[in-house]
Structure formats: C-alpha cells, structure tokens
Amino acid sequence: MTSSTFQDTVNEFVLSKDQVQKIIDGLTEELVEGLSTKDPKNITQQPSYITRLPTGQETGLYLAIDMGGTNLRTAAVHLLGDGQVGVTMEKHEITHDLKTGTGEAMFDWIADCTAQLLKSVALDLGTTADLQMGVTFSFALHQTAINRGTVLAMGKGFDLSDVMGKDLKDLLEGGFARKNLPVSVSAIINDTVGTLVSHAYVSPSTKIGVILATGTNAAYIERAADVSKYNGPACDQMILNTEWDAMGKASYLPQTKYDKEIDAVSLVPGFQEFEKMVSGLYMGELVRLSLVDLIERNAIFEFLGGKVPESLKPRLAFKTLFMSTIESENNPEHTAVDHVFKSSFGIEGLTADDRRRVFELVHAVGKRSATMTAAACAALLHKANGASVNLDDANEITTIGIDGSVFEKYPHFSHEMMEALTEILGKDRASRIRLELARDGGCIGAALVAMVSHSGGAV
Ligand code: GLC
C-alpha cells in the first residue's frame, strides 16, 4: 500500500484547532458540573478539605506513604522550615499479584513496608507516641474529612477485592494494628493535591498541581462558595482534586479506533477515557495498536508481508519508555528505532522509510498527549481565573507544578505543552504561566498536609 495510508493513521492523532477547543469546552463544562453534582457516579471535583497552602516555615517529623499505580513509596519527612525538607524514602514495586489480590494482603504489605522504613530510620517505637502519617493515594477517593475517604473505582490495573466503598484510614490502620505499628493516619490526599501543596512550599506562585505519569490528573484552588456539593465546615477556599482523568463524557474527546480499543479491553471500560488517551500507561499501547494495524495493512514494515510478529502481540508490550528513546534521538537516520525493535522485539530489517514512519507515529501520539494536557490546563486556568489565578494581571505569574515520568522524561513534552498553551491562551496570557517540574510531591505533600492538619490548617 502507499504511504498515504500510513499518513492517514498518523493524521488521526493530529488535532485540529476545532478539536482542541471542543476538549477545552467539554472539560470546562464538566469542571463546573462537578462542583454541584451529588451523583455518586461522578467522581470529579473531589473536595480535599485543605483550605490553605503551607507557608514554607513548617517544621516537624512526619511519616508519609505514596501509593501510586506502579510503586509504593514510604518516607520519613523532616520539615525544617524555610522551604527545606530532609527525606528518607524507600520505594517498593506493587506486584501484579498484590494489585489483583485481597485488600487485606495489600494493607498488610503496606504495613510491612512501613515497618521496614521505621527500621531504616531507627525510630525508637518504645519511646514514641503515635506517629502521624500523611498518605498520598493516587486513585479516586470520596473524601469525607482531611484523613478519611471511601475508595472509588481504582483503574491502573488494580482489582482489589473488599476495598471499594471502604474508608481508607480504617483499611490502613487495620494493617498497622495487625503488625503492631503505632501509626495514625492524620491526612489523606490525592497525588495531585500533594504536588500542588509541596510545589507551593518551594514555589509560592503555584496554583495548580498536575500528574503526568502512569495516570494523569490535576488539582487546583477553588472558591468554597462555588463548591455547592461540599457540606463540611465553612471555609473561604479549598483545594479540589478534579479527577480530570475521568472526564470526557459525550465523546467530545477525539478518540481514534485505537483509543476505543484500549478502552474496550481495559479492566473498567468507559472509565478514565481522557487518561487513556494521554497518560504513560497507554501512550505506548496506542503506538503498538497502530503499528499492528499498519503491519496488517502492509503500510509499514512491508518485509513482514502483513504478518504481525508474536513479540508485538501482547497488550502493553510497547512501553512509553520506547517512545522516549525514539524521540530523544536527534538524528535523521532514526537509528534508535532500529535499536528498540531489535533489542525489545527481535525485529530486524527496517528500511529508512520504516524508521521515519515509526518516528512520525510516535511523535504524533506524544504530541497529542501534550496538546490535550495543555487543553486541560487551559480549561482549569479559565475556571480559576479571577479567583486563585489572575491571567489578566501582567505582574502575576501562575505556576503549574507537574510531577510524573511523562512530563519529566518524555522529550520536548514541556515545550510542546507550552506551544499549545500559547496557541490557546494567546502570547500575553501564556507568558505569565510557568510549567515547572515538581518532584516527590507525593510524600512531601502528604507530610505537609499531615502537619497542616495537625496544626488546624484544615477543616
Ligand atoms: C488516576 C487516579 C487519580 C490520580 C491520577 C494520577 O487518574 O484516578 O486519582 O491523581 O491517576 O496519578
């Protein structure tokens, strides 16, 4: 077949101005709707019960855990004041068996990992009163207090029995009690909230926290009076966890047939459709599905004669990391493409055209993710404008703290996001936005919120 067939596939990932505007309008509508809806199925715009950002002057020792889609991090965080922190952190991979086993096994394991951390930092449990722990939970939670919340749908390949609808503080403290650990959960936050809080500790103009990793999501600061579904104690403003991952209703998202396929075979079809188009867990899979289709149509790798190699058949076999490797090579021969296919898939014999095509496909999928994330940030900036953000004041800088491997490691991601933001917001407004890498927001943010909660800075 001709290269136009290949180009058709690539073009499906290239967004028009109109498609980008539809994403912004659709997300804005859902951001507004999420403030009032009491429908328990709508998991967006979750109140965090956090009503102020840290000042940078906080001090004390707090434990923290950060449970993400891939790893569990445990940390002892010393807040030293002046924006300084001392952290001892340990990382444990969450295995497939744990992700798909019982809640009890998962929370026993978390307690074991915490015990290991306490051993490493040599805290004398005999003489310590209850240790306060801040928890970052990178899944949707219906928060009912600063340290309580019921677990909603999990996604990211998790399928734990006996956990949905239960209170996370009870689940965690149950594990700690079974292992005789004197640990109390004093704060539970989403990872985006942790990113916002911890980045504000070092960069006070931070008004939005974004995660771009296995999943994607964002948190921002909203006027409490606008959050009509919130019925807790009175406050002026509050950090909201948008759960923008789950937005994308009424198909304003420009899904290709590959996006639809990813959704259809996922553990929870119809859930997190925005995330499935954007985040690190799925970008590589989009490339794989496109490649399989292109090979079958003989529109790439013609030497295979339309037969898809076994190595390219398993779901998620093409990692987003391979895309980073391919895009980081600044060489028109695209030899990194050869390397990836030879070393990871045993496929050799690519032509110069094949290499260029793989590069173009990878680039289109990566750029779409950056553009869609920029569109989502623009929707959030519009929503917050005039309240926590002022895009029209030439002297006001708004920082978006972004954590996650996609933003950190994917070549040119930040640049492409900024380009898209400039196109959407115009040069002047975009020049007042800073996209900054926020690191380890999970643990430090959780420790900060545990402290803020302890000192009465939360409702
Ligand atoms: C998923 C979770 C969300 C989290 C995001 C980034 O979308 O539902 O809570 O913030 O991943 O880790």
Q: Is 191 in the pocket of ligand 1 (CB under 6 A)?
A: yes
**Closest by Cα among 441, 442, 446, 444 to 458:** 446
Q: Is 155 in the pocket of ligand 1 (CB under 6 A)?
A: yes
pLDDT tens profile 8-44 = 999 999 999 999 999 999 999 999 999 998 787 788 9
According to CATH, the topology of domain 50-203+441-449 is Nucleotidyltransferase; domain 5 (3.30.420)
Q: Is 280 in the pocket of ligand 1 (CB under 6 A)?
A: no
Q: What is the mean pLDDT of residues 48-62?
A: 83
Considering 56-60, 371-375, 454-458, the range whose residues carry the highest mean pLDDT is: 371-375
In 381-439, DSSP assigns E strands to: 398-403, 433-437
| Ligand 1 atom 8, closest CA | 139
Q: Is 200 in the pocket of ligand 1 (CB under 6 A)?
A: no
Half-sphere exposure of 331 (CA within 13 A, CB side): 11
Q: How confident is the model at residue 264 (pLDDT cuts 50, 70, 90)?
A: very high
Q: Is 143 in the pocket of ligand 1 (CB under 6 A)?
A: no
Q: What is the mean pLDDT of residues 135-162?
A: 90
Lowest-confidence segment of 71-85, 293-307, 441-455 by average pLDDT: 441-455
Q: Rounded to whole angstroms, how far apart are CA atoms 126 and 110?
A: 21
Q: How confident is the model at residue 457 (pLDDT cuts 50, 70, 90)?
A: low
Q: Is 141 helix (H, G, I), strand (E, B) or coil?
A: strand
Which of 216, 239, 268, 407 best tests ligand 1's pocket when mutated (most atoms within 8 Å of CB)? 216
Cβ atoms of residues 164 and 170 within 8 Å: no
Q: For residue 443, what pLDDT is reported?
A: 87
Cβ atoms of residues 175 and 424 within 8 Å: no
Q: What is the mean pLDDT of residues 229-237?
A: 88
Sheet order of strands, 46-47 included: 46-47, 237-241, 216-223, 206-212, 398-403, 433-437
| Ligand 1 atom 3, closest CA | 139
Q: What is the mean pLDDT of residues 131-159?
A: 90
Q: Is 285 helix (H, G, I), strand (E, B) or coil?
A: helix
Residue type, 26: G
Where is pLDDT greater, at 104 or 42? 104
Handedness of CA 330, 331, 332, 335 (dihedral sign): negative
Where is pLDDT greater, at 456 or 353? 353
Q: Is 222 in the pocket of ligand 1 (CB under 6 A)?
A: no
Percentage of the residues of the chain whose pLDDT score is greater than 90: 76
Cβ atoms of residues 448 and 457 within 8 Å: no
Q: Is 407 in the pocket of ligand 1 (CB under 6 A)?
A: no
Going from the Cα of 139 to the center of ligand 1, the distance in angstroms, rounded, reads 5
Q: Rounded to whole angstroms, how far apart are CA atoms 28 and 22?
A: 10
| Ligand 1 atom 9, closest CA | 139
Q: How confident is the model at residue 64 (pLDDT cuts 50, 70, 90)?
A: very high
Q: How confident is the model at residue 455 (pLDDT cuts 50, 70, 90)?
A: low
| Ligand 1 atom 4, closest CA | 138
pTM metric for this prediction: 0.91
- 395 CB contacts (<8 Å, ≥6 apart)? none
Q: For residue 128, what pLDDT is reported?
A: 61
Cβ atoms of residues 151 and 164 within 8 Å: yes
Angle at 458 between CA 457 and CA 459, to 5 degrees: 135
DSSP for residue 412: T
Q: How confident is the model at residue 124 (pLDDT cuts 50, 70, 90)?
A: low
Q: What is the mean pLDDT of the chain?
A: 92
Indicate whether 271 pLDDT > 60: yes
Where is pLDDT greater, at 294 or 231? 294
pLDDT tens profile 308-330 = 999 999 999 999 999 999 999 98
Half-sphere exposure of 63 (CA within 13 A, CB side): 27
Q: For residue 4, what pLDDT is reported?
A: 59
**Closest by Cα among 189, 175, 245, 190 to 34:** 245
Which of 137, 191, 195, 247 best tests ligand 1's pocket when mutated (most atoms within 8 Å of CB)? 191
Lowest-confidence segment of 328-337, 368-377, 396-405, 420-429 by average pLDDT: 328-337
Indicate whether 291 pLDDT > 80: yes
Indicate whether 3 pLDDT > 50: no
